[in-house]
Amino acid sequence: MRVIRVSDYEELSLRSADLIASLIILKPDCVLGLATGGTPLGTYRDLIRLYREGRIDFSQVSSVNLDEYRGLKPDDPHSYRYFMDQNLFQNINIDPAHTFVPDGCESDPASACSKYDAIIDRFPLIDLQLLGLGGDGHIGFNEPSDCFIRRTHCVTLKEETIRANSRFFQDKAEVPHQAYTMGIADIMKASRILMIVSGSSKAAILRQVLEGPVTPAVPASVLHLHRNCTVIADEDALQCCDRLCKDSQFILP
């Protein structure tokens, strides 16, 4: 696992956008695994800027998102499909037919999950999977558990996740309690993983991820087992990792 220490959120966004842009330039028909939430907003803003400057072309790119709230329609402003359309897809030249998000309207979880697995299986691989880090260590919506769940599944969100995500809703009571999420095996199958972590609210959990054991109780800890995982984290997020090297880049064994 390679950790890149950056000064702040702006630098984090720039570095992650540059990394994704480099992949698009080298492999124009790449498959991107994408995340929602607050952390990738700056990355998406910088990717849109690079696109507008004519430096990247999304016309052959495909994307597969990590998760979606169960029960929300694509045009619901709180759905992750809507988030992706607003914050990235409508601002670049990606073919909407090549962008995939789990179907939150599919009320039968078994059907929703098997359909999304079939979509993931259409791609030989995800070239780069972008991840944020949940306050309880979740990636996608793979919540702390006693086992890693391999494929797309319906998850009941933890109280901490509902509380954290209530900032995107008028009222906490509006936050859906369930979601469909890509599983850990499909995340781990990506050729390259990029996790971005910003802010002091993530400092304690980032320390557990970077310094603690691999355990499904801290889902992101599984990334230690990936052969090509980069974590970009800012000073605030790394403030509890005092045992780790202070260099701007370091490799964890």
Where does this chain bind ligand F6R (CB under 6 A)? 35-39, 66-67, 132-134, 138-140
Report which of 67, 52, 76, 56 is spatially closest to residue 132, judged by C-alpha positions. 67
Instruction: Output 19 or 139, the one with its CB closest to ligand F6R.
Output: 139
Q: Is 117 noted as a catalytic residue in this protein?
A: no
Distance, CA of 247 to CA of 19 (rounded, Å): 20
Residue of 68, 103, 106, 138 with catalytic role:
138
Q: Give backbone dihedrals phi and psi of 237, rounded to 5 degrees, phi first.
A: -70, -30
Q: Is 143 noted as a catalytic residue in this protein?
A: yes
**Least separation in angstroms between CB 173 and ligand F6R:** 19
Instruction: Output 4 or 101, the one with its CB closest to ligand F6R.
Output: 101
The encoded tokens of residue 42 equal 């700056």
Instruction: Output 1 or 220, the one with its CB closest to ligand F6R.
Output: 220
The terminus-to-terminus CA distance of the chain in angstroms comes to: 7
Residue closest to ligand F6R (Cβ) = 132
The encoded tokens of residue 5 equal 């220490």
Return the DSSP state at 158: P
**Least separation in angstroms between CB 55 and ligand F6R:** 25
3-state secondary structure of 32: strand
**Least separation in angstroms between CB 196 and ligand F6R:** 8
Residue of 127, 143, 186, 234 with catalytic role:
143
3-state secondary structure of 197: strand
Strand partners, 192: 128
**Least separation in angstroms between CB 133 and ligand F6R:** 6
**Least separation in angstroms between CB 16 and ligand F6R:** 12
Q: Answer yes or no: are the C-beta atoms of 79 and 69 closer than 8 Å.
A: yes
Q: Is 136 noted as a catalytic residue in this protein?
A: yes
Residue of 136, 153, 186, 234 with catalytic role:
136
The length of the chain in residues reads 253
Q: Answer yes or no: are the C-beta atoms of 98 and 62 closer than 8 Å.
A: yes
Instruction: Output 39 or 62, the one with its CB closest to ligand F6R.
Output: 39
Q: Is 159 noted as a catalytic residue in this protein?
A: no
Q: What is the gyration radius of the CA atoms in the chain, in angstroms?
A: 17
Instruction: Output 24 or 220, the one with its CB closest to ligand F6R.
Output: 220
The catalytic residue positions are 67, 136, 138, 143
